[in-house]
Structure 1
Amino acid sequence: MATRPSSSPARSLAAALLATLLATLLATTVSCVPARILAGNVATLFDSPRPVQSKVRAPYRPEARLAALWVGHATVLLQIDDKVILTDPVFTDTVGVIVKRLVEPGLDPEDLPPVDAVLISHMHFDHLSLGSLSLIEEKVRALLVPRGGLVYVPNYTFDSVEVPTWTTWQQGDLKITAVPVWHSGYRYGLDRDWMTESFTGYVVEYHGITVYFGGDTAYARDHFVKTRSRFPGIDLAIIPIAPVGPREFMETKHVGPAEAVQAFFDLGARRMMAIHFDTFINSTDAFGEAPRELRRVMAARGLGPDRVFVPRHGEQRVLIAR
């Protein structure tokens, strides 16, 4: 893995002061939300990500029929019997050059088992990380992307396939279907007029177990209800809970904790796993704000950790044992 060059305490202090000054300038002179988010990222640019203690070194669990490990953000290592699926892999320290990790990856790339399918939900830098795919290239058997997504995927050694909404990719008994969500799929901004379908959720089916992965999505009840009608009895719904604020800016792009829980009910899933929080600064949320709000919503709706769980970075749970 890449290492950072050593630096003197004086140089580190100077870099930190510079970052603070730039962040303050951005935050006080520009009022728009993207500038405030940028200011938050500049302020952390020279910080080291928080370490993850006691990382899992052997994540393949022979005793599990269904297991999930949260690497961070939207990256989940999912095991269903002998199949391994990885969602939106991001293992790099930064995304989009300036967005720095707050917490290091909860799993090291070298500890990945062979991956039967990598699922990419959309083209944004914090979900389609080409540097991360290069790190794990030799372990990946197939990459699935939404419609139009292959334009940004290099010629890797593994197969790369576009899966439009409501179509299914199948390898043996493993079936993965693209399902609708409400987000955006462009990568650079200039491509927003023609990258209009390059975002998706996925439903994974194998040996009678069904898992939903929402990627990034705003609240769209019709999408969730239609997915439930086609896939009744979802065993696990992996749903983002952030970014939360400012809500008027985020509500057409991202569910907050309350909307995530409602999506969980709309999907009719047995359990929900919360993701997409406390890994990168992509909102005005404080660290820890989203999971605290989720726990408040859970209490209000009578949901315990047996139904909805909030993983720690690097935490792996066996949800169905053999």
Structure 2
Amino acid sequence: MSTPVYLRPDVYFEPLFNQWYMWPYLLAPAPAAMNLANHHTRLMQSFIANAKLHAQAAKLKSMVGSSIVNCDEQQVEAMLSLLEQSQNQLSDLYEFAKSLKQLDQLLLAEANGESLEGLYEKIPDNLKGYVELVYDLNNQVSYRLIEGLLYLSPLFKKSKQTLCFGDLASDKRPFVLSTPRLADANHCQITVPFSHTFCQALFKMREVPMSLAALNKLLPDDCDFRGGKKFSELFTQQAPPIRAPYSDEGVRVEYIGHAGVLIESKDICCVIDPVLAYQNDEDNRQKFTFSDLPAVVDYVMITHTHMDHLCIETLLQIKHKVKAILVPKNNGGSLADPSIKLMLQNLGFAQVVELEDMEKVPISGGYICALPFLGEHADVNIRSKAAWLINIQGRTIVSAADSSNLEAELYNKIKSHIGRIDILFIGMECTGGPMRWLYGPLLTQPISKQANESRRFNGSGFASAAKIVDILNPEQVFVYALGMEPWFAYFMGISYNDDDAQMLESQQLVDKCLSEGKVAERLFGRKTMRLNALKSQVGGGDAS
């Protein structure tokens, strides 16, 4: 018990809320209540009533990523127990979700453009003090959630946060978004708030050893262990490989999988949208794993709230090495657009900084700038999204996230302020899901089939991406964030065919760029690029 040990590199971790995989809309209290009441409950009831159908459908490759519960028929009683526990122990969340619908109905029925003061007394009691009633300048009525108070209220259920661990022999993890993680013989579950010091100490053990005796002293008294896997089985005395600090001249840029980009000089280390893989028996050198990340990360930048960019699973495991996180500015109080800053602070991150569009943060040898991007959010008013520009030693790298380029003039205006660009990363998931895919549980009024299908989470296709490239004129162009890496299928649920639009249109962009003499590639796994420092380093404009 006193021997120093490491957390094994093939042990994977899933953060759970009420036994469901934790993604951003299960961390923020109001969206969590809506997802519990309008999505999780429906899935649990459907499985209880049709367990055999779900079990059969879960075996079909075509059903991965759908609303099929991937449990076997023997787990009906456990699912029924989870449903009853949810309804009994989280009744205030169910009531909160019900009251949000009542509030919408009240405002639609009685707000007529005149003063809203008289409606405050009609707000459901469990919402009072948590909402502000507002009009926009066109007399369209809405409300603002006071999120900071919600995190301090009983509606923020830290007691329902659970660490779940299992062995990852291969990259074939089950899809996480449609199935609760019921306790079983192959997993170890520990009910500990994610912000607790135990969690940070535990994940630091991927690189720095600690005795189990010392670790166990950090456990809170009221924690609970579930599942048949022993906690002690998660550890090894074998030290992992350690990545040496980057000490060369110039800038190293590394694609680390999905939407992740690592940018290093000898003075600074920045990571955009990290989603890291695990080592396992499949020796795949294309994977960027936790041991590949430097020991100190000066800045993590998050582009937007979608779980493949704001990955709680990864962020919790690297919190001990992150100095600061930069996030896009938030609207404040929107049910569909919870504050990323508040989410990360309530995960225990001490330094989280919101940036306005075009706002800069100085760093050693340059600056980081938040760039606006449009689209990819089904036309919902989502303010919490930003592309990121990193200028180091006169070199400029832009991670354009999932922009669908709804207005090319935006990039003309951006270009006039940022000058030359060395590398552009751009996502081209050009046939995204319909509106209800993400926002369905948050809706309090029905949406037509036509509207749902029309309003999609599309990134750029060839035509719109080509316009961005023509305007910004980068020297190198890389298509990323397509979800092609099989080790990320557990949250992407995507399997492409060669004739899918994403494959055809991204290749079309690569071919166009190559024909123009640019370096271009559709990325997969990991790739390293090196940029020499420019002698002329201009802080705000052209660095040519």
The answer to whether TM tops 0.5 is yes
- What amino acid does structure 1 have at the position aligned with 2:375? H
Between Structure 1 and Structure 2, whose CA radius of gyration is higher? 2
1:208 alignment partner, one of 394, 400, 406: 394
Rounded Cα–Cα distance in structure 1 between residues aligned with 2:362 and 2:249:
22
Rounded Cα–Cα distance in structure 1 between residues aligned with 2:418 and 2:277:
34
Normalized per residue, the structure richer in helix is 2
Rounded Cα–Cα distance in structure 2 between residues aligned with 1:261 and 1:40:
35
Rounded Cα–Cα distance in structure 2 between residues aligned with 1:244 and 1:18:
24
Q: Does 1:129 align with 2:311?
A: yes
2:529 alignment partner, one of 313, 317, 320: 317
1:107 counterpart SS class: coil
- Please state how far the C-alpha of 1:143 moved relative to its aligned partner: 0.2
Structure 1 ranges of 4+ moved more than 4 A: 15-18, 21-24, 40-43, 245-252, 282-285
Gaps of 5+ in 1: 5-14, 25-36, 94-102, 187-191
- Please state how far the C-alpha of 1:265 moved relative to its aligned partner: 1.8
- Please state how far the C-alpha of 1:91 moved relative to its aligned partner: 2.4
Rounded Cα–Cα distance in structure 2 between residues aligned with 1:231 and 1:150:
26
- Please state how far the C-alpha of 1:122 moved relative to its aligned partner: 0.7
Rounded Cα–Cα distance in structure 1 between residues aligned with 2:370 and 2:260:
17
Distance 1:58 1:147, change over 3 A: same
- Please state how far the C-alpha of 1:255 moved relative to its aligned partner: 0.7
1:152 alignment partner, one of 317, 326, 343: 343
Q: Deviations over 1:263-305 (max 9, x none)?
A: 1222122211221111454668537953554333433565378
Rounded Cα–Cα distance in structure 2 between residues aligned with 1:3 and 1:238:
28
Residue 88 of structure 1 corresponds to 273
Distance 1:287 1:39, change over 3 A: farther
2:417 alignment partner, one of 220, 225, 230: 230
Distance 1:259 1:303, change over 3 A: farther
- What amino acid does structure 2 have at the position aligned with 1:136? I
- What amino acid does structure 2 have at the position aligned with 1:286? N
Counterpart mapping for 1:1-322 below 5 A = 1=9, 2-3=11-12, 18-21=57-60, 38-39=65-66, 48-49=170-171, 58=243, 61-63=246-248, 65-91=250-276, 106-113=287-294, 114-148=296-330, 149-153=340-344, 154-183=346-375, 196-219=382-405, 220-244=407-431, 253-277=458-482, 278-279=484-485, 280=489, 281=492, 285-286=496-497, 289=500, 290-291=502-503, 293-300=505-512, 302-303=514-515, 306-320=518-532
1:225 counterpart SS class: helix
Q: Which has the higher contact order (CA 8 A, sep 6+)?
A: 1
RMSD: 4.1
Rounded Cα–Cα distance in structure 1 between residues aligned with 2:68 and 2:515:
34
For the 8 Å contact 1:124–1:185, the answer to whether it is kept is no
For the 8 Å contact 1:68–1:318, the answer to whether it is kept is yes
**Overall identity of the aligned pairs, in %:** 21
Rounded Cα–Cα distance in structure 2 between residues aligned with 1:61 and 1:41:
45
For the 8 Å contact 1:176–1:202, the answer to whether it is kept is yes
- Please state how far the C-alpha of 1:130 moved relative to its aligned partner: 1.8
Distance 1:305 1:203, change over 3 A: same
- Please state how far the C-alpha of 1:64 moved relative to its aligned partner: 5.4
Residue 32 of structure 2 corresponds to none
Distance 1:42 1:236, change over 3 A: farther
- Please state how far the C-alpha of 1:251 moved relative to its aligned partner: 6.9
Rounded Cα–Cα distance in structure 1 between residues aligned with 2:243 and 2:329:
34
- Please state how far the C-alpha of 1:232 moved relative to its aligned partner: 0.8
Rounded Cα–Cα distance in structure 2 between residues aligned with 1:40 and 1:274:
29
For the 8 Å contact 1:184–1:198, the answer to whether it is kept is no
- Please state how far the C-alpha of 1:62 moved relative to its aligned partner: 3.4
Rounded Cα–Cα distance in structure 2 between residues aligned with 1:76 and 1:288:
27
For the 8 Å contact 1:218–1:255, the answer to whether it is kept is yes
1:313 counterpart SS class: coil
Rounded Cα–Cα distance in structure 2 between residues aligned with 1:41 and 1:57:
40
TM norm structure 2: 0.44
For the 8 Å contact 1:245–1:284, the answer to whether it is kept is no
